[in-house]
Chains A and B, each alone.
Chain A
């Protein structure tokens, strides 16, 4: 198989996102990740299918030189599910926004996760409806001022991570649009994971919610306000990597090594593979002030996928059955002859 490069996944279509939109960086990361996945798993280019719903980020399939399906609002997850179940050999990627996946498409989103369909969902979370020009979304912060909430929203936002874990998700990771290296790292992990992988990309909407994640992405504060989790590594953060997470009472606490008697040995080691949902939920829900926002692969556990179970069941039932053709079926059970 010829070695693929990012160029193989780009096509000649003009990318029509606003200059400065976070989606550009995510597209680049996807195009750079796919060759790596191909190399690791020996996937030909024609096995990639990119699916989307409706919204700014859902234009992404048009910019990929792969099989693509740009569906209708909220339904990307259902379309992806059908594609993967119909042909499990395909590797299905999905681009969807916070409104698309968590509002109008919330039902499909949680059920795909519950079933553990083997798809890679890239969830672009800019906390706003961009394509309809600036209404609040299910991830907009409480009180957010938008065109449909001129006096501030009066509803609590979803944390996509809690939703994924609450649906017994097997893979959840998070990153910032601007962190290209981390994006490639977690997207590769997502693609290598068998089952529903959800990657939450915290993206900026330069027009309607500029600076949505600036409190995290600003280089001046990023190291102190975020923590990059990697399986098997200590949960350390801060510019000097001198801060870490410990279990305290019923929750997590950020401490500084060398203060209050804490040493490196007290700092938790990240276990993305543990089945224990509790610790992953606590990590996914961390936020400031006091705790850093978790980035990287928070959860990555093994379980059977829906399409594996489907294939197995079809094979198993077919082997046991005496009916192998429609002719057999039509003549099975009670029939009678007229001579």
Chain B
């Protein structure tokens, strides 16, 4: 067989196996290694809610898609160039994601009768049955080879079989010309303390996988994906959205001088933020794993009253439980950041899948007139900036702020140019200082005339004693049932939030600044919509695109931008919540919707098709 090394711009690889096969680790190692190599990348872990779903079944398949490239990579890719399927179920669940020319690598050992039956195949040829027999199929006896590789290791069979994913990774490294050093380093770091005896066997299996591929001649082509040439200079690292949120919170705490308190209750897919912060007690972060979601937000409100930068992290069902306390934070005008990593709903819904269906809940889900700033992040790395800005708005405007992340952002990762924090804006909370004049009393709801922000006096400060609570009060902080006072306070709380718009970055339009169609997105769909936009531009279409990171308040130039277009197409992963919100704010414009509610991100291809309908 003639072997070719092909230079390519980008490839998409999907690793799939049983939920216990270690596919998440395999995929993330491949991604990390590619990041260190200098590629642009985007990842998409797609796994079931069950920790160990029934072995060998389609419902138990866990996948991890990596898109690597030598120039801009905005999405994890719609379809893959290579599918790794560790068993028949993984093939069955993922064959539909293979491109026409894709390569499919399977563990031949897993394709016995029992495995095929469990996966629900009815014929002897799974590839024909799935209609993918014309792809490049590599059947490698991965289980057998792993056993062979470790037969002299003295390890028990269970431990040996756990190393299968390293053999697979070795094959992938060969096919895509990846250096193995980064994986060596990972293995050494992971096992050096508790299981140093595991380092050598894992390295051996990895190497054997690599050289097996080189020797068997079953692999027609290998690929090189050059490092990104035009990358901005600086220090990079790979980061997931959840990790970036946690670090952004830590950065805001450092910048503002307020200690970080995070009261949270574990919930998929937000838990990793709490876990990450729990590691960083070294930076003074206090994490409190509460007994429930309500305690999580209420302890945070208590911490805010006492003067901390208080944060609670959750997902949709948890946000529902926090609703009443959100009202308390609005009423007491305390700074608080609520991070909602959205997942498929309603109710328990699709815990591990991504959606943008909590927007209405974030905007409206409370009793009374209860406005809360709502903002979002548009990529995994952007979660750092978004979390930082959420803290800045909360602390400087004395208000709870909801940051809407998404499962797709939280679990996804991308390379990140580490920012210079000196270039980040200062965070200056409106703390009182000194002592009051004798006889004077602190008025907790007296407002700054420009921003309408009240001042923050912390328990422990002499002479500033005051009381806050859920009951309506006047500016002096005294309980009041006076009808006009209530009307005034409702209006002032709303206006305080509206005036945050002064600090919200202006909206920016890509493409023509006026014309027939403006495509609009918000949050984690940025990469997909931007890719669709560029594809359409490359194909000669005249189209414009703008993306909202700030939802409430909206950027000040929103109306001006909308007025330059005949139609606005709002693309979002729900049934049209943002479109409806925009309609309510700007009834004079024509809004169209493109929606998807499948627990999955957009495909670039479906976006380009949808947008073309309006061109």
Interface residues of A (CB under 8 A from B): 13, 44-47, 49, 51, 54, 61-62, 64-72, 75, 78-87, 89-90, 107-108, 111, 310, 313-314, 317-318, 320-321, 323-327, 329-331, 333-339
Chain B residues with CB under 8 Å of A313's CB are: 281
Distance from B287 Cβ to chain A, minimum over Cβ atoms (Å): 9
A98 to B386, CA, bound (A): 42
Q: 8 closest A-B pairs (Cβ-Cβ)?
A: A82-B302, A70-B469, A78-B298, A321-B282, A82-B299, A68-B467, A86-B306, A86-B303
The yes or no answer to B462 lying at the interface (CB within 8 A) is yes
The yes or no answer to B41 lying at the interface (CB within 8 A) is no
The yes or no answer to B292 lying at the interface (CB within 8 A) is yes
The yes or no answer to B35 lying at the interface (CB within 8 A) is yes
Chain B residues with CB under 8 Å of A87's CB are: 306-308, 458-460
Distance from A103 Cβ to chain B, minimum over Cβ atoms (Å): 14
Query: Which of B104-112, B169-177, B228-236, B337-345 makes up part of the contact surface?
Result: B228-236
Q: Are B470 and A70 in contact (CB under 8 A)?
A: yes
A89 to B126, CA, bound (A): 68
13 A-B pairs with C-beta separation under 8 A: A67-B467, A78-B295, A82-B310, A83-B459, A84-B302, A86-B310, A107-B295, A108-B295, A321-B282, A325-B283, A326-B283, A330-B421, A334-B32
Distance from B129 Cβ to chain A, minimum over Cβ atoms (Å): 42
Q: Are A68 and B470 in contact (CB under 8 A)?
A: no
Interface residues of B (CB under 8 A from A): 32, 35-36, 38, 182, 185, 228, 231-238, 247, 250-251, 254, 259, 261, 263, 280-284, 286, 288, 290-292, 294-295, 298-308, 310, 324-325, 327-328, 332, 417-419, 421, 458-471, 478-479
Chain A residues with CB under 8 Å of B254's CB are: 325-326
Chain A residues with CB under 8 Å of B259's CB are: 86
Distance from B249 Cβ to chain A, minimum over Cβ atoms (Å): 10
Q: Are A46 and B460 in contact (CB under 8 A)?
A: yes
Q: Are B465 and A66 in contact (CB under 8 A)?
A: yes
Q: Are A329 and B283 in contact (CB under 8 A)?
A: yes
Chain A residues with CB under 8 Å of B327's CB are: 72
Q: Are B298 and A71 in contact (CB under 8 A)?
A: yes
Q: Are B284 and A318 in contact (CB under 8 A)?
A: yes
Q: Are B305 and A335 in contact (CB under 8 A)?
A: no
Provided the pairs A62-B479, A82-B303, A336-B38 are in contact, do residues A317 and B418 lie with their beta carbons within 8 angstroms? no
Chain A residues with CB under 8 Å of B419's CB are: 330
Q: Are B237 and A317 in contact (CB under 8 A)?
A: no
Q: Are A326 and B421 in contact (CB under 8 A)?
A: yes
Chain B residues with CB under 8 Å of A336's CB are: 35-36, 38, 235-237
Q: Which of A67, A69, A80, A330 contacts B418 (CB 8 A)?
A: A330
Chain B residues with CB under 8 Å of A111's CB are: 290-291, 295
A80 to B305, CA, bound (A): 10
Distance from A45 Cβ to chain B, minimum over Cβ atoms (Å): 7
Chain B residues with CB under 8 Å of A338's CB are: 38, 228, 231-234, 236, 417
Provided the pairs A62-B467, A335-B418 are in contact, do residues A326 and B325 lie with their beta carbons within 8 angstroms? no
With both beta carbons as reference points, the residue of chain A lying nearest to B288 in the complex is identified as A85
Distance from A164 Cβ to chain B, minimum over Cβ atoms (Å): 16
Q: Which of B261, B325, B328, B462 contacts A46 (CB 8 A)?
A: B462
Q: Are A337 and B303 in contact (CB under 8 A)?
A: no
Chain A residues with CB under 8 Å of B303's CB are: 82-83, 85-86
With both beta carbons as reference points, the residue of chain A lying nearest to B282 in the complex is identified as A321
Q: Which of B237, B238, B286 contacts A86 (CB 8 A)?
A: B286
Max count, chain A CB within 10 A of own CB: residue among B232, B250, B461, B465: B465
A262 to B309, CA, bound (A): 62
Q: Are A324 and B302 in contact (CB under 8 A)?
A: no
With both beta carbons as reference points, the residue of chain B lying nearest to A44 in the complex is identified as B462
Chain A residues with CB under 8 Å of B458's CB are: 87
Chain A residues with CB under 8 Å of B280's CB are: 323, 329
Chain B residues with CB under 8 Å of A324's CB are: 282-283
A317 to B286, CA, bound (A): 12
Provided the pairs A46-B461, A82-B299 are in contact, do residues A71 and B467 lie with their beta carbons within 8 angstroms? no
Q: Are B247 and A334 in contact (CB under 8 A)?
A: no
Provided the pairs A310-B286, A314-B284, A335-B418 are in contact, do residues A82 and B247 lie with their beta carbons within 8 angstroms? no
Q: Are B328 and A329 in contact (CB under 8 A)?
A: no
A171 to B151, CA, bound (A): 61
Chain A residues with CB under 8 Å of B464's CB are: 46
Chain B residues with CB under 8 Å of A331's CB are: 235, 418
Q: Are B291 and A107 in contact (CB under 8 A)?
A: yes
Q: Are B306 and A82 in contact (CB under 8 A)?
A: yes
Provided the pairs A13-B478, A323-B282, A326-B250 are in contact, do residues A82 and B300 lie with their beta carbons within 8 angstroms? yes
Q: Are A61 and B467 in contact (CB under 8 A)?
A: yes
Q: Are A72 and B236 in contact (CB under 8 A)?
A: no
Q: Which of A70, A108, A339 contacts B233 (CB 8 A)?
A: A339
Q: Are B234 and A71 in contact (CB under 8 A)?
A: no
With both beta carbons as reference points, the residue of chain B lying nearest to A311 in the complex is identified as B286
With both beta carbons as reference points, the residue of chain B lying nearest to A339 in the complex is identified as B233
Q: Are B251 and A326 in contact (CB under 8 A)?
A: yes
Provided the pairs A318-B281, A321-B282 are in contact, do residues A330 and B247 lie with their beta carbons within 8 angstroms? yes
A65 to B305, CA, bound (A): 17
Provided the pairs A107-B295, A326-B254 are in contact, do residues A335 and B306 lie with their beta carbons within 8 angstroms? no
Chain A residues with CB under 8 Å of B38's CB are: 336, 338
With both beta carbons as reference points, the residue of chain B lying nearest to A63 in the complex is identified as B467
With both beta carbons as reference points, the residue of chain A lying nearest to B422 in the complex is identified as A327
Q: Are B459 and A67 in contact (CB under 8 A)?
A: yes
Chain A residues with CB under 8 Å of B467's CB are: 61-62, 64, 67-70
Q: Are A107 and B418 in contact (CB under 8 A)?
A: no
Chain A residues with CB under 8 Å of B299's CB are: 78-79, 81-82, 85
A333 to B182, CA, bound (A): 12
A318 to B284, CA, bound (A): 7
Provided the pairs A47-B460, A337-B235 are in contact, do residues A85 and B286 lie with their beta carbons within 8 angstroms? yes
Q: Are A72 and B302 in contact (CB under 8 A)?
A: no
Q: Are A326 and B247 in contact (CB under 8 A)?
A: yes
With both beta carbons as reference points, the residue of chain A lying nearest to B384 in the complex is identified as A330
With both beta carbons as reference points, the residue of chain B lying nearest to A109 in the complex is identified as B291
Q: Are B294 and A75 in contact (CB under 8 A)?
A: yes
Chain B residues with CB under 8 Å of A86's CB are: 259, 261, 286, 302-304, 306-308, 310
Chain A residues with CB under 8 Å of B421's CB are: 326-327, 330
Max count, chain B CB within 10 A of own CB: residue among A44, A79, A85, A107: A79
Q: Which of A71, A75, A78, A314 contacts B286 (CB 8 A)?
A: A314
A337 to B234, CA, bound (A): 6
Chain A residues with CB under 8 Å of B465's CB are: 45-46, 65-68
User: Known pairs A318-B283, A326-B247, A335-B235. 5 more at Cβ < 8 A?
Assistant: A45-B465, A49-B306, A86-B303, A317-B281, A335-B237
Max count, chain A CB within 10 A of own CB: residue among B295, B302, B461, B470: B302
Max count, chain B CB within 10 A of own CB: residue among A68, A70, A318, A330: A330
Q: Which of A44, A46, A61, A79 contacts B302 (CB 8 A)?
A: A79
